[in-house]
Amino acid sequence: MLATETLYTPYNGAVLLENPLLNKGLAFTEGERTAFNLQGLLPHNVETIEEQTARAWGQFCQFKTGYFAPYLPAKYSGY
């Protein structure tokens, strides 16, 4: 379940994006991008965390049959 509480952070701009615990990538809403001074630092489109996860998983699955397949560790070959 996603948290709905507000989290205060003193960071904004590029410093916020450098923090992996606070960086939501494309999931920052337009309001959050304005509040945290992220304009111009992220692409214009907004994706939810779920959409980002699905896209990343799809890209990972392409490695199974693509050029990088021989380089995947055996523990990932079952996915």
Percent helix, strand, coil in the chain, to 5, is 45, 0, 55
In a domain, 67, yes or no: yes
In a domain, 72, yes or no: yes
Q: What is the pLDDT of residue 78?
A: 57
What CATH code is carried by the domain that includes residue 59? 1.20.1370.30
pLDDT digits (tens, 9 = 90+) for 10-46: 999 999 999 999 999 999 999 999 999 999 999 999 9
Query: Domain limits at 22?
Result: 13-76
Question: Residue 55: is its pLDDT beyond 70?
Answer: yes
Asked if 26 and 54 touch (Cβ cutoff 8 Å), the reply is: no
Burial class (CB in 10 A: 0-12, 13-18, 19+), 42: middle
In a domain, 6, yes or no: no
The percentage of residues in the chain with a pLDDT greater than 90, rounded to a whole number, is: 58
Q: What is the pLDDT of residue 67?
A: 72
By C-alpha distance, which of 24, 30, 18 is closest to 51? 24
Its pTM stands at 0.68
